[in-house]
Chain A
Amino acid sequence: MYNFNYQTASSADDAAAKVSASDEGKLLAGGMTLLPTMKQRLAMPSDLVDLSKAGLSGISVAGNVVSIGAMTTHDTVANSKEVASAIPALAKLASGIGDPAVRNRGTIGGSIANNDPAADYPAAVLGLGATIVTNKRSIAGDDFFTGMFDTALEDGEVITRVDFQVPETASYIKFPNPASRYAIVGVFVAKTAGGVRVAVTGASPCVFRASEMEAALTANFSAGALENSSVSANGLNADIHASAEYRAHLVGVMAKRAVAACS
């Protein structure tokens, strides 16, 4: 690890200001991605601006909306009674991220800001059509994930919370990478006020919606309805763990299982 300046932020705006004022500052959330990268000397930020005291953690439910503060840990979401009763699929997704140590440090804000192609949360954000609220604006889930490790966030922009509309039903099933346990393929299926949504993570460089599947499920929300819809292997990820064809096949299998698991 290279040397850096450590600063704490008292609010999202304070954090944004401190990052902007620094040379090459970075926001620090749970550090579960950022710190290993720094330890391997692959990143050398001049400053780390710690969000842990910025008042960004906590879960609240108002009407039909579950709001999760950016600094809320995976473990908190996984064990939240509110989340479990409003959107059980979200709690289950959080409980399947990494291991206990990672879940006790890693945050929803850090996860979606990082937009790892194999991360779990992006599938929920896209699959539930959530809204990402920052210190500057609100961004629709559909517009947030712009590419591999890339988001609509501007430099220094701080996610403050994520608002999830409670769906009629939803489910997330992932096929974990045997080594890392990130998603080789994860599929989030939801029946929302705005229609059926199917979000796929792990399979391609960026989380995406499987529109053919959404159409099939809109016509008939059952696993059987997916029998004839598939995802093309074209452009999907291929690595030592899974070929593009295998991933395309797994999208179908996970989608069917997710639909079957929707009650």
Chain B
Amino acid sequence: MPRDDGIGAAVRRKEDFRFITGRGSYTDDLNRPGQAFAAFLRSPHAHARVDSINVSPAMAVEGVVAVYTGQDLADAGVNGLPCGWQVHSKNGEPMAEPAHPALAQGKVRHVGDAVAVVIAESRTAARAGAEALEVAYTPLPAIPNMKSAKGAVATVHDDVTNNQCYDWELGDEAEIDAALAASAHQVTLSLVNNRLVPNPMEPRVAIGDFDHASGEHTLYTTSQNPHVIRLLMGAFVLGLPEHKLRVVAPDVGGGFGSKIFHYAEEAVVTWAAAKLRRPVKWTSDRSEAFMTDAHGRDHETTVTLGLDADGKFNALKVITDANMGAYLSTFAPCVPTYLYATLLAGQYTTPKIYAGVRAWFTNTVPVDAYRGAGRPEATYVVERIVEEAARQIGVDPAELRKRNFIAPDAFPYPTPVALEYDSGNYAGTLDKAMAAVDYANFKSRQAASKAAGKLRGIGFSAYIEACGIAPSAVVGSLGARAGLYESGAVRVHPTGSVTFYTGTHSHGQGHETTFAQVIAERLGVPIDNVDVVHGDTNKIQFGMGTYGSRSLAVGGSALAKALDKVEAKAKKIAAHLMEASADDVEFKDGQFTVAGTDKSVGFGDVALTAYVPHNFPHDELEPGLEEQAFYDPANFTFPAGCHICEVEIDPDTGRTEIVNFVAADDFGNIVNPMIVEGQVHGGIAQGVGQALLEGCLYDGDGQLMTGSYMDYCMPRADDLPNFKVETQVTPCPHNPLGVKGCGEAGAIAAPAAVMNAVTDALRSAGVSKPIDMPATPSKIWSALNGA
């Protein structure tokens, strides 16, 4: 009988008791003795010269301890924030990589850019001090969007005269142009992938601490990857060696990518704590989060698909402009290139693909990875153009996809855009989704809606993603300045309970449960006897953190390897106890047995023997039972599937209601189906948010127009239908658990499904010109009324 807490069981999340009883420990819950508080003065201008900063009025505010400006940091030898990925332009030149000072030096480049920090005895005093600072600005012409960046009416950075970060390409443009020209059909779309504000529930917090006696610096921070922060901040910004810098990311309330990056505030509080010899705490408020957390997406794309007379895809050409914002955030350059263009084959056999990507600096908040990071943008391009092609050439969109799918027996499948897909069954998930949505009867539902004065539409999104990020050698060759393996250590305690130390980081994903289930399955111990530890560089040997749906595929593989080692050693101990040869020992359900005998010893007894080694093979083994493993993946994993959305539009108001949403996903093997379903729900909610509700807007002066929830529309429960979520299992062939990753699928798949459905509904009313996300009621009403 399978365990009720092992692999495949829908175990309730172990961590939730702590969270729902208010016992989580988030960074803002931490307070260090003698702590002071930091407040940042932020630029009200999108672009301005900072002529002078008069700190005396701030110093005069009661409770203010210190004020630091960019000059103070420069004088102290504090460097700017590094970028973790270097992209080269097609002419071979490295990307433009302008300085990114932690506090402005001479110029501010977006609304919210930090000008100075005030440290005081209380938050209130720090804010009062920041308000008292006198800064003389000379406003400069702002570059609020990519169109004005291209016009180069002004330059965001003096040393980047055309505002361009890079002009990158993948593929042979002339060859693809020729293939397109030779195609029977050419279909073109212009698409905007709207800028999003990540909005994790918990805003960012950073506490710097310094132990003068030991010389150890500690940063408590809301991070998805504390070791990466230690590396970036320690080695590049502050010049602190790893053994004197501890980074702790305790319970973290969501990140969606925005907490991957190294932010200025982290460096400033760590530096100031050492300078002042007292802890310094900064807590972002929601308004600050809107103008300082790295934003997501913000692409403008023109895509052309060439098809032959039978509807086979001949060639795809994609030209994309990507907004980097004012500075390069940590991983920004790779998002519109290696995480985007490499996915443009989608689930199809398109033989020729070209992608040209230009990245631009603008006077806006930096843009970086956000749930899906590049892959949602790729899926959006591919699935919108495929559906558009189907409609234009008059082939059913499901049928057109099936004609072009990579066949299940064609794996491993090298795409023309540098990836090798490991496994998949795309017709399988399409069929599942079509059955779940009852595609066969869509036309009659559409007719019923029409009779009721509503417009009904249906849209597909057959997505693929590259997850399990990533093989270090591959990403290294593509410009990553880090490796992307993972580490894990299994510590078996003397009585057989287990602590697992993982370099991944859980900020909502449920690792404490999922990893415990893997251990329970392997070692035969109940999951209540397993704890998972993460988020502290002093406890975990090393780790690259959590993003790119990598935790189980990479971190779980490190766990599996560590468990192999534990099992191998435990078998030897068991063999000694049973006076058998280790080769004859079998391990199952927590019991070691010797084949063909009735000898048996339990896992707990073996653990105890390892720590109380009275009767122990000392000549062969060391005491103790603890093993560590690093795992560097052989390839990406390729979760894929099909989402179908059905909408009903009220033509009188333009309001869209999602009346049906189904997802059929292939995530490989599944450890906890309930957690997976939750991840899919959350992802779809974010995808629907992008498609219908969310959009970050700047006005012509670079002022943020959507700086609060009054104007920035987050998806709410009543915006969403009940999802029908199904899975298909095509195991990953190259990692030990056969898992692929599920964290981003919903956000990757949903926008195209929703927008294809909206487009279909509009088309039923004779509107063929597509609209861009978010498809708000006002946009739809305008489209229906010819505006």
Contacts and interface: CB of A to CB of B under 8 A. Distances in A.
Contacts of B705: 240
A253 B710 contact: no
B711 A180 contact: yes
A179 B711 contact: yes
Contact of B287 (A3, A40, A175, A253): A40
Given A178-B777, A246-B781, A240 B653 contact: no
B652 A253 contact: yes
Contact of B710 (A3, A180, A243): A180
Given A246-B778, A246-B782, A241 B711 contact: yes
Contact of B778 (A1, A242, A253): A242
Nearest to A239: B711
A245 B652 CA distance: 13
Contacts of A245: 787
Contact of A179 (B653, B654, B712, B781): B712
A41 B782 CA distance: 38
B713 interface: yes
B404 interface: no
B712 A253 contact: no
Interface string B691-731: 00100010000000110011111100001000000000000
27 contacts: A1-B124, A3-B124, A40-B287, A41-B127, A175-B777, A178-B693, A178-B713, A178-B776, A179-B693, A179-B709, A179-B710, A179-B711, A179-B712, A180-B709, A180-B710, A240-B705, A240-B706, A240-B711, A242-B778, A243-B778, A245-B787, A246-B654, A246-B778, A246-B781, A249-B781, A250-B653, A253-B653
Interface of B: 124, 127, 131, 287, 652-655, 693, 697, 705-706, 709-714, 719, 776-778, 781-782, 785, 787
Interface string A227-250: 000000000000011110110011
Contacts of A40: 287
Contacts, number: 43
Nearest to B782: A246
Contacts of A179: 693, 709-714
Contacts of B776: 178, 241
B720 to A, nearest CB: 13
Contacts of A180: 709-711
A163 to B, nearest CB: 32
A241 B712 contact: no
B351 to A, nearest CB: 42
Contacts of A41: 127, 131
Contacts of B711: 179-180, 240-241
Interface in A165-179: 175, 178-179
A3 B781 CA distance: 47
Interface in A28-45: 40-41
A205 to B, nearest CB: 17
A117 to B, nearest CB: 13
A245 B711 CA distance: 19
A100 B654 CA distance: 27
B112 to A, nearest CB: 15
A241 B781 CA distance: 12
A40 B127 CA distance: 11
* Most chain B C-beta atoms within 10 Å of own C-beta, residue among A40, A41, A178, A243: A178
Nearest to A256: B652
A231 to B, nearest CB: 15
A179 B719 CA distance: 11
A245 B782 CA distance: 10
Contacts of B655: 175
Contacts of A240: 697, 705-706, 711
Interface in A209-263: 240-243, 245-246, 249-250, 253
Q: Can you list the 8 inter-chain pairs with the closest CB atoms, starting with the nearest?
A: A179-B713, A180-B710, A178-B713, A253-B652, A242-B778, A246-B778, A179-B711, A240-B705
